[in-house]
Amino acid sequence: MRGVLGQEVVDYVRELILTGTLRSGEKIDQQALGEALEVSRSPIREALVVLSREGLVELIPRRGASVARLSPEDIIDHYALFGVVAGRAAALAAENLDADGIAELRAVHARFLEVGETVSEGADPEDASLVPALLQQLNHDFHRIINLSAPGRTRWLLRHLEHSVPTSYYEFANGWNRAAVDHHAAILAAIADGNPEGARGAMESHLLASGEAAVAELVTRGFFEAGAGPEEEAV
Amino acid sequence: MRGVLGQEVVDYVRELILTGTLRSGEKIDQQALGEALEVSRSPIREALVVLSREGLVELIPRRGASVARLSPEDIIDHYALFGVVAGRAAALAAENLDADGIAELRAVHARFLEVGETVSEGADPEDASLVPALLQQLNHDFHRIINLSAPGRTRWLLRHLEHSVPTSYYEFANGWNRAAVDHHAAILAAIADGNPEGARGAMESHLLASGEAAVAELVTRGFFEAGAGPEEEAV
DNA sequence: AGGGACTACTTTGAATACATTATTCATTCA
DNA sequence: TGAATGAATAATGTATTCAAAGTAGTCCCT
């Protein structure tokens, strides 16, 4: 993961796992992966170490790597943790965010609402394919502004939690997400009011709901269907 | 980090960093490290990836690894995060821990108190060197029993937070720690009472205090004294 | 004398090679 | 017939080699 190659491998394998192409428990062949990406095993191995620290891959000495067996409960739990940490950031934002930051937050939220309403009315069909990416970007900006109020270590952990597991990845894959906007509105209101506990609670609720949505999406992608892994239990 | 060598390297370098032998920002030479441990650079590189994901090492492409520049604020923040997550586990324990678990928790706490009082009275001077390790073990057991009530992902994150930065590592290095016992007593009482919010708050307070203690200990070890790193700022 | 460019050296990142361990499949014995 | 043992095969972990980027030191020019 030092140079560029390892990072590419990380992204590639993460995509394979999160899209359900590689299934839960499935073995990951280093040599096959290396041939597929036309790189040697050195960057492959470093990438697998990264993914194992993220919790997406299980590494067993002398037995190699396999896709981690994540249950729906694990995903829910992960989002709950994410909520607890992001809630801390939101509480700090309610205490510390200055007027400029709040204005910026309002602007992003307004744009978010605008794009969402437009698409829900069925307009702009010609560039409809761009909408999910745009919504995801605006969603990301919204959270980033809040998280900037938090100390460095909290931001560090939030970055890791965000990548460790399917998070906002899918939230807007299927278009407009009404619930997310309401949640964001509540978070924004609490922060603007300087209400730390309100912001914390709103953020936690938001991520709990996101977790349930993510599980639903992952189910449709066959994420939880176990592949033929070495740990596979016979029935 | 696949085989056993990588893990040894991780433990070795972590020790160097946490004891202050390697100082903040100092460059880590792969070849020198390999010669010191008599292993090749392959496991070294994988170990450095692990440590970079833990936040103890900073990895810059084509420039190699250096000890992460952690400030006292980072350590405090880290403990606050630890507290938030451990607080969640404690709240769940207050809801879910059965009678056996509570009894076990009481037993560990009683033993903890007993060992501590003994040593504070100056008794058992012949095996005094064993006391810190014993206290640390009992402290660990106490938290482990609580954490077992939490879902898998929460336990996973707690494990990582525990290793990522000097945590309970030093708490009992200097012998008896009166404050920790009072904290544990409060946590135990809240859990036994089935009081989730009380347990959460007690756990958070406990770790905030631990964070301050850890910073004090790290200061005496010269942890925050910057070494001659590549990013070193000229005054 | 100070600054910049060129060269030599060091160190990293990636690929290949080697050794050891797990897995598989066939054969044999109960 | 089934389980167990053993060799053959495949894959992992580690070491070594090779190429490219970075660093430092010197020399030259202004």
**Residue-wise pLDDT tens digits, A106-119:** 999 999 988 877 76
| pLDDT at res. A179 | 84
Q: Do A49 and B3 touch (CB under 8 A)?
A: no
- Between CA B229 and C1' D30 the distance (Å) reads 34
Verify whether the Cβ–Cβ distance B61 to A3 is below 8 Å: yes
pLDDT at A233 over 50: no
B234 contact to strand D (CB, 7 A limit): no
Positions 103-142 of B with beta carbon below 7 A from strand D are: none
> What does the alpha-carbon distance between residue A230 and residue B36 come to, in Å, rounded to a whole number?
37
What's the pLDDT band for A128 if we cut at 50, 70, 90?
low
CB contact under 8 A, B77 and A3: no
3-state secondary structure of A60: strand
> What is the Cα gyration radius of chain B?
19
Instruction: State the nearest Cα–Cα gap between A115 and chain B, in angstroms.
Output: 35
State whether the beta carbon of B5 lies below 7 angstroms from any atom of strand D.
Answer: yes
Report the C-alpha gap between B171 and B140 in whole angstroms: 11
Average pLDDT on A182-211 reads: 96
* pLDDT exceeds cutoff 90 at B213: no
Facing residue for B85 by CB, picked from A45, A84, A156: A84
Task: Name the residue ranges covered by the structural domains of chain A.
Answer: 4-67, 72-220
B230: CB within 7 A of chain D nucleic strand? yes
Cα–Cα dist B20/B223, whole Å: 5
What are B33-36's contacts with CB under 8 Å, separation 24+? B33/B9
Q: Does B154 touch chain A (CB under 8 A)?
A: yes
Is the minimum distance from the CB of A35 to strand D below 7 Å?
A: no
The string of pLDDT tens digits covering residues A24-46 is 999 999 999 999 999 999 999 99
Q: Are B82 and B167 in contact (CB under 8 A)?
A: yes
Nearest nucleotide over every DNA/RNA strand to the B60 CA, judged by C1'? C12
pLDDT tens per residue across span A153-169? 999 999 999 888 766 55
Q: Over the stretch B9-68, which tens digit does the pLDDT of each residue have?
A: 999 999 999 888 999 999 999 999 999 999 999 999 999 999 999 999 999 999 999 999
Contact B166, B214 (CB under 8 A): yes
Under 8 Å CB-to-CB from A30, ≥6 apart: which residues? A41, A44, A45, A48, A64, A65
* Terminal Cα-to-Cα distance of chain B (whole angstroms): 39
Contact between B202 and B186 under an 8 Å Cβ cutoff? The reply is yes
Three-point CA angle B197, A97, A180, nearest 5°: 65
Give, as ranges, the nucleotides of chain D with any atom within 7 Å of a protein CB: 11-17, 21-23
CB contact under 8 A, B50 and A53: yes
Residue A128: DSSP 8-state? G
Region class of A36: left (phi > 0), else alpha (psi between -120 and 50), else beta: alpha
**Distance from C-alpha of A16 to C-alpha of A18, rounded to nearest angstrom:** 6
**Structure confidence at residue A135 as a pLDDT band (50, 70, 90):** confident
- Gap from A62 CA to C20 C1', Å: 10
**Distance from the first to the final alpha carbon of chain A:** 39
**Is residue B3 within 8 angstroms of chain A, CB to CB?**
yes
DSSP state of B58: E
Q: Which residue of A has its CA nearest to B161?
A: A157
Q: Look at residue A28 and give its three-state secondary structure.
A: strand
For A56, which residue in chain B has the nearest alpha carbon?
A: B153
Q: What is the pLDDT of residues B128-167, one digit of tens each?
A: 667 777 888 899 999 999 999 999 999 999 999 988 876 6
Residues of B in contact with A77 (CB under 8 A): 151-154
Give distance CA B55 / C1' D2 (Å). 54
What tokens does B55 get?
Answer: 């936040």
Q: Measured between CB atoms, which of A52, A53, A152 is closest to B74? A: A152
Q: Which DSSP helix (H) or strand (E) runs through B209?
A: helix B196-220
Percent of chain A with pLDDT over 90: 66
Nearest CB to B78 within list A49, A59, A153: A153
Residue to test with chain B: of A4, A149, A153, most B Cβ within 10 A: A153
Whether the pLDDT of residue B233 is over 60: the answer is: no
- Is A23:A66 a contact under the CB 8 Å cutoff? no
A4 and B CB contact within 8 Å: yes
* Nucleotide whose C1' lies closest to the alpha carbon of residue A32: D11
| Dihedral pair phi/psi, residue B193, rounded to 5° | -80, -5
Over pLDDT 90: what percentage of chain B? 67
**Sorting pLDDT into bands at 50, 70 and 90, what band is B173?**
low
Could you give the count of Cα atoms lying within 13 Å of B119 in the half-sphere of its Cβ?
Answer: 21
Q: Taking a C-beta distance cutoff of 8 angstroms, is the pair A194, A95 a contact?
A: yes
Per-residue pLDDT tens over the stretch B69-119: 999 999 999 999 999 999 999 999 999 999 999 999 999 999 998 887 776
Residue pLDDT, tens place only, B4-18:
899 999 999 999 998
Write out residues 185-214 of A within 8 Å (CB-CB) of B. Answer: none
Distance measured from the CA of protein residue A230 to the C1' of nucleotide C12, in angstroms: 36
pLDDT in tens, A139-158: 999 999 999 999 999 999 99
Please tell me if residue B81 touches chain A, with a CB cutoff of 8 Å: yes
Residue B219 has pLDDT above 80, yes or no: yes
Which of B42, B61, B80 is opposite residue A2, by nearest beta carbon?
A: B61
Q: For residue A235, give how far its alpha carbon lies from the nearest alpha carbon of chain B (Å).
A: 24
> What crossing angle do the helices spanning B41-54 and B4-18 adopt, rounded to 10°?
50
> Are B152 and A80 a contacting pair at CB < 8 A?
no
Q: How far is the CA of B232 from the C1' of C2 (A)?
A: 24
CATH topology of domain B4-67: Arc Repressor Mutant, subunit A (1.10.10)
Nearest CA in chain A to B156: A55
| Class of CATH domain B72-220 | mainly alpha
Q: Can you tell me whether residue B67 is helix, strand or coil?
A: strand
